Structure 1
Amino acid sequence: MRRTFASHRYLVHDPATGMTHRAPDPQPTGRIILDDTIVASWPVPAAADLDRHTPASVCWSPIVRCNLHCPQCLDDTTVPELSAMERHRIAGVLAEVELLGVDISGGEPLLLRDLTTLASTIRDGGRSVVSVTTNGWHLARRAPELARCLDAIRISLDGPDPARHDAIRGAGSFARATDGIRAAVAEGIPVQIQTVLMHRTAETLQDLVDLAHGIGANGFTALQMLPIGASAALSTEMLTDEQARRVFAALRVPPGLRVRLRTRDAAGNFTVIRADGRVWRNTISALSIGGLHPLRGATDLILTSRDGTA
């Protein structure tokens, strides 16, 4: 499948998986169309080996409000949200910074009426690819407008059927999410299904992979749970990275579906912009956060040697 990526010389960022690959040859700078099978074959260097002054990608959570209350949520719901004017200022900053990817998350970003404007502002900067991470509740309704401004969409599922998914996310959430996935696929938006890997979800991982393949998703990602935000209370649900790798190695992967495990060590130093406009980075171990400061301009995203620059 040929779709949109962002590149800067040898680095190519995939908006669906959130991974930055190293190409064997220099690529044109900016948003480019590539074959995703070829990109997937390229290696993924560690963040410290990217040799960049700014992160390759960031997660921006402009909203903490959500219609669901998932126990494994990373968000701090006490953080105040900025005004619409300030959200648009931050979108403008992200459009100007030499980022390869911006994932708009939350909270639930589809609750923002100005989501498409924010995404378009960033994408129109010409440097970054833009994705959205959503619980999918409002996706079926908003898929047509999102198709005009997104390069990929990531939908969170915690179980392969209503009984197991809704037990974590709430009644009706599975049906709304899967209806949204089908709508996004119909609109031609590359879809990545992702799940937070915990002891309670590890046993359903194969069924989730099969569901992702059957519903038309491009890929599936299992994210190691991070003890940040609400999920800090679920420390007993955490798998070690070694345990997660064993679970993942046992999966039967359907033809054409790309699966990915994001281990906890791979989440170290990841950059997040909170709803209050402050920037923080996961510590190297991804067990806590640090470096909290306001995002006023592009220089506030510059990495330091402590953040893992080369």
Structure 2
Amino acid sequence: MSSKKSDGAMLSIDDLRQVTFSITRKCNLTCDWCFNDAGKRYEDVLDTETLVRILESISPYAEGITFTGGEPFLVRDIGDLIQKAIYLDFKEISITTNGVAIPRKYEPLLQHKRIALAISIDGDEPRHDSNRGAGTFARTKKRIEELVEAGINVALFMTVSKRNLDCVPALLDLANELGVIGVSFQRLRCIGRGRNFNEEALSNVELKTLASYIQSAQEKITKYFVNFKDPMRNLLNEEFVAVYKDLPQNYICGGCQAGISYLYITEEGIVQPCAFLNIPLGHMLKDDLVDIWEHSEVLNSLRNKNRYKVCNLCTYWHMCRGCRADAYNTTGDYMAGDPSCWTNR
């Protein structure tokens, strides 16, 4: 992993690596803790031509693009957008989906080696169906089997809460059974409809237990990748800490990537540091992406250790910095401490 100096000075646009683009808020499901409060009641805001323009504005800089929503496969011209992303030479093209209704006509296109589907599974069948609706687990599993058989890269994706924490081992077993390329985990963020489930968010002890279990799984499992999408994931990785602990504290080498190597764009074209951090930085149809990245006060604060509260005193700042979204959604201050941090309690 490369490191980058961040002493409060702006980072170059060359540091931008990954963009997640919500292309619709429309969805065929109404999952309990959807961060985007997606559902059937929404209509698409931007037409295909405008979505393509935004892709073209991103492509000179970001290596990876993720289409999310809502349910991306409800966008009428999703095939055209995927083909455009291939043409624009994004190195990685990911599509997050509930997997319930991926049209078969897209299977030849989805076989492209640079494309991967991230399909949400919330644990075992009862837990999954309690969140997404009766029968959705069976339908999603069947569709995954068909997609894998068709030679399409599929990874499983699980949002972990108190409701399904005990299902993590079962999901790893399911990944092995289905023959997918990997499985990723993230903690529940209490945003969107997730605000109604604050009591289900992981405690700091539960988050550490989860991180430790996933770290152990990563060391043992070689058949498919196991990923924990959490800024605190490196703190239990003794090898990582040993390699990077002596770097100057103003060198970033991991942790929360909001404004460090990552941006999020809403279905309206609004630029945010992260999907879970609803702070507008600009608009893709009105503002220059380079100017947003290099001169945003919010982004440059995220890169400056001296602006942090609590985390600025931590020896792990350069490899963690906590979840800025959880800090903001809990306290209203994106520079506050991560409420789920297990090192400052």
TM-score by length of 1: 0.74
1 or 2, which has the higher helix percentage?
2
Three-state SS of the structure 2 residue aligned to 1:158 is coil
Match of 1:278 in 2: 270
What is the CA–CA distance in structure 2 between the aligned matches of 1:200 and 1:292, rounded to whole Å?
34
Residue 277 of structure 1: CA displacement?
0.9
CA contact (8 A) 1:143 1:180 kept: no
CA contact (8 A) 2:181 2:224 kept: yes
Residue 256 (str. 1) matches residue 223 (str. 2): yes
Residue 195 (str. 1) matches residue 190 (str. 2): no
Find 1:173's aligned residue among 129, 136, 149. 136
Assess, with a 3 A threshold, how the Cα gap between structure 1 residues 233 and 55 changes in structure 2: closer, same or farther. farther
Match of 2:309 in 1: none
Match of 1:18 in 2: none
Find 1:290's aligned residue among 275, 279, 287. 279
| Residues 169-178 or 296-305, more deviating | 296-305
Which structure has the larger Rg over C-alpha atoms?
A: 2
CA contact (8 A) 1:245 1:261 kept: no
What is the CA–CA distance in structure 2 between the aligned matches of 1:126 and 1:75, rounded to whole Å?
28
Find 2:84's aligned residue among 121, 124, 131. 121
Give the AA of the match of 2:71.
Answer: E
| Residues 100-109 or 254-263, more deviating | 254-263
Assess, with a 3 A threshold, how the Cα gap between structure 1 residues 202 and 195 changes in structure 2: closer, same or farther. same
1 or 2, which has the higher strand percentage?
1
What is the CA–CA distance in structure 2 between the aligned matches of 1:264 and 1:212, rounded to whole Å?
23
Three-state SS of the structure 2 residue aligned to 1:92 is helix
What is the CA–CA distance in structure 1 between the aligned matches of 2:112 and 2:276, rounded to whole Å?
36
Residue 299 (str. 1) matches residue 266 (str. 2): no
CA contact (8 A) 1:51 1:309 kept: no
Find 1:160's aligned residue among 109, 124, 135. 124
CA contact (8 A) 1:279 1:295 kept: yes
Assess, with a 3 A threshold, how the Cα gap between structure 1 residues 261 and 121 changes in structure 2: closer, same or farther. same
Assess, with a 3 A threshold, how the Cα gap between structure 1 residues 103 and 83 changes in structure 2: closer, same or farther. same
Identity %: 25
Alignment of 1:1-310 (within 5 A): 21-22=1-2, 52-53=12-13, 54-77=15-38, 81-95=45-59, 97-139=60-102, 141=104, 142-148=106-112, 151-161=115-125, 163-240=126-203, 242-250=205-213, 254-263=221-230, 266-267=255-256, 269=258, 270-282=262-274, 288-296=277-285, 297-299=288-290, 302-304=293-295, 305-308=300-303
TM-score by length of 2: 0.67
What is the CA–CA distance in structure 2 between the aligned matches of 1:105 and 1:272, rounded to whole Å?
10
- Residue-pair matches, total: 263
Assess, with a 3 A threshold, how the Cα gap between structure 1 residues 123 and 61 changes in structure 2: closer, same or farther. same
